[in-house]
């Protein structure tokens, strides 16, 4: 049996609710043995998280979750094992942050037209200068009593097709993967079933992703059902990708079960862990590189 691994988590450096220290404490409590911090378009929390992981005796992998555009879809790529000091990576993340700030101004304007005033300054109070993401606007809508929870804030206002949505000019899938590789990392397609692509489109995406240099895909993404896991595991093998596992944990309030109930990869899946530099130190499932 594989030890419990979680290669997709968030902290307060993006839209998670826990500090890196709280995240590591929580992960330790829930028996995670290897963790990656993968905040949206930033590595600002990585060194701090690595420090607390080390104190806790937990294995740690550097990471981030990169927003990319593929055709007319915004997708998420988990980058693992990256050099967080890489200059091209830093440049890209700076650009992505700029786009987040510009988008935040537009979202706030749209919300103002819908009767929610000063959403940007309210959201900025929540982020305290860190990455601004749509869940911060969702939190403002909840705090203002406009929406009852995150889900309804996205459904009514923030998701694609709703009145406060704004498309963003993220880096392309191909260019994003190039930068991840240049920074020594591996690219993993995050939560492949969350984009609501048709079977054909998903196949086309996986073909492109592999051609562009992608390495893995999440076969377990949060609370995946056994049917989803077996579907993704088949796709993973078909497209010659390796399998990753991530809770996509954002905090006890938002994703209360995702890390607690995180499953392990099914037998026969080739694990992403073997592609990470840390694998030399580990003996997951009896395999060593
Ligand atoms: P952003 O990167 O700023 O566009 O925000 C994306 C984040 O919003 C995701 O990582 C999720 O944490 C959250 N999110 C996206 N869609 C939903 C949804 N339908 N319900 C709740 N949270 C969502
Ligand atoms: Mn998020
Ligand atoms: Mn995501
Ligand atoms: Mn995520």
- Alpha carbon distance 157, 147 (integer Å): 9
Contacts of 149 (CB under 8 A, 6+ apart): 142
- Does residue 134 line the site of ligand 1, with CB under 6 A? yes
Pairing relationship of beta strands 216-221 and 242-246 according to DSSP bridges: parallel
289 residues of the chain, pLDDT tens digit each: 348 999 999 999 999 999 999 999 999 999 999 999 999 999 999 999 999 999 999 999 999 999 999 999 999 999 999 999 999 999 999 999 999 999 999 999 999 999 999 999 999 999 999 999 999 999 999 999 999 999 999 999 999 999 999 999 999 999 999 999 999 999 999 999 999 999 999 999 999 999 999 999 999 999 999 999 999 999 999 999 999 999 999 999 999 999 999 999 998 899 999 999 999 888 655 444 3
- Does residue 194 line the site of ligand 1, with CB under 6 A? no
- Does residue 178 line the site of ligand 1, with CB under 6 A? no
- Classify residue 3 by its DSSP letter: P
- From the CA of 103, give the closest atom in ligand 1: 3
CA distances from 28 to 39, 200, 259, 262 (A): 19, 40, 11, 13
Please give the distance of CA 154 from its chain centroid, rounded to a whole number: 17
- What separation in Å is there between the alpha carbon of 134 and the centre of ligand 1? 6
- What separation in Å is there between the alpha carbon of 283 and the centre of ligand 2? 31
pLDDT at 26 (0 to 100): 98
pLDDT at 124 (0 to 100): 97
- What separation in Å is there between the alpha carbon of 216 and the centre of ligand 3? 15
Name the residue at shortest CA distance from atom 6 of ligand 1.
134
- What separation in Å is there between the alpha carbon of 221 and the centre of ligand 3? 9
pTM of the model: 0.97
pLDDT at 284 (0 to 100): 54
- Does residue 65 line the site of ligand 1, with CB under 6 A? no
Contacts of 164 (CB under 8 A, 6+ apart): 107, 110, 111, 114, 137, 157, 158
Look up tokens 């290669």; give the residue.
7
pLDDT at 91 (0 to 100): 98
Token digits for 286? Answer: 């009896």
């Amino acid at each position: 049996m594989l030890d419990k691994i979680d290669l997709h988590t968030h902290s307060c450096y993006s839209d998670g609710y826990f500090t890196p220290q709280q995240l590591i404490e929580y992960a330790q409590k829930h028996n995670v043995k290897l963790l990656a911090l993968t905040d949206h378009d930033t590595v600002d929390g990585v060194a701090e998280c690595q420090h607390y992981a080390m104190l806790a005796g937990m294995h740690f992998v550097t990471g981030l979750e990169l927003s990319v555009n593929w055709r007319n879809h915004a997708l998420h790529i988990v980058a693992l094992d990256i050099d967080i000091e890489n200059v091209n990576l830093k440049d890209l993340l700076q650009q992505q942050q700029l786009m987040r700030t510009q988008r935040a101004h537009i979202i706030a304007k749209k919300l103002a037209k819908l009767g929610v005033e000063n959403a940007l300054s309210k959201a900025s109070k929540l982020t305290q200068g860190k990455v601004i993401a749509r869940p911060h606007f969702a939190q403002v809508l909840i705090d203002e009593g406009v929406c009852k929870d995150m889900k309804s804030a996205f459904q009514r206002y923030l998701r694609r097709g709703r009145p406060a949505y704004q498309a963003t000019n993220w880096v392309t899938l191909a260019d994003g993967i190039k930068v991840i590789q240049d920074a020594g990392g591996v690219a993993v397609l995050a939560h492949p079933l969350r984009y609501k692509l048709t079977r054909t489109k998903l196949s086309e995406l996986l073909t492109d992703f592999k051609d562009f240099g992608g390495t893995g895909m999440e076969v377990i993404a949060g609370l995946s059902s056994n049917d989803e896991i077996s579907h993704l595991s088949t796709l993973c093998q078909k497209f010659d990708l390796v399998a990753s596992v991530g809770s996509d944990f954002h905090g006890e309030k938002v994703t209360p079960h995702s890390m607690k109930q995180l499953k392990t990869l099914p037998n026969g899946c080739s694990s992403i862990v073997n592609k990470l530099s840390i694998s030399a130190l580990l003996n997951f499932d009896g395999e060593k590189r």
